[in-house]
């Protein structure tokens, strides 16, 4: 190799791409973002399930799906299609804010008052 060729190779040596910067690398944690997407999807799915369950619960509590022929029997086909409140978010809000079961109206009226016990006599 002559001196002229060596000078030319040294001149063009810096124009050669560096291998470490040749390929794109990502600093994004794909596992963490995958878990975020998974848990967000799970939250949406659970919210939809809560809305459906609260819709059916409210329909049962208000008596919206009573069978017209057989008194005291629930029409199960009605429970699938009933809209017991105007909007889905009302079911979601009620489900989030009422976490303890409420006593049905009929059983409140049917309850008998508990007899009160007489106070024990005082010991001298």
Q: What is the pLDDT along the chain (124 residues), one digit of tens a residue?
A: 688 888 888 877 777 767 766 677 677 788 899 999 999 999 999 999 999 999 999 999 999 999 888 888 999 999 999 999 999 999 999 999 988 877 766 654 455 556 666 666 667 6
What domain count does the chain have? 1
CA distance 31 to 15: 37
| pTM score | 0.60
Q: How far apart are CA 96 and CA 101, in angstroms?
A: 12
Kindly state whether residue 44 falls inside one of the protein's structural domains: yes
Calpha distance 39→16 (Å, rounded): 46
Q: Identify whether 85 is part of a domain.
A: yes
8 A C-beta contact, residue 101 and residue 60: no
Q: What are phi and psi of 82, to 5 degrees?
A: -70, 145
Residue 92: which domain range? 32-98
- Asked if residue 27 belongs to a domain, the reply is no
Has residue 74 been placed in a domain? yes
Residue 9 inside a domain? The answer is no
| Residue 1: inside a domain | no
Does residue 23 fall inside a structural domain? no
Is residue 77 assigned to a domain?
Answer: yes
């Amino acid at each position: 190799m002559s001196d002229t060729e060596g000078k030319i190779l040294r001149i063009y040596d810096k124009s050669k791409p560096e291998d470490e910067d040749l390929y794109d690398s990502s600093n994004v944690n794909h596992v963490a973002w995958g878990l975020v997407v998974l848990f967000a999807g799970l939250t949406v799915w659970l919210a939809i399930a809560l809305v459906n369950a609260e819709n059916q619960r409210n329909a049962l509590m208000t008596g919206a799906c009573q069978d017209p022929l057989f008194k005291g029997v629930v029409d199960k086909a009605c429970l699938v299609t009933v809209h017991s409140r105007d909007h889905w978010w009302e079911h979601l809000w009620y489900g989030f804010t009422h976490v303890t079961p409420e006593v049905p109206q009929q059983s409140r009226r049917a309850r008998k008052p508990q007899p009160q016990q007489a106070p024990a006599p005082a010991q001298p």
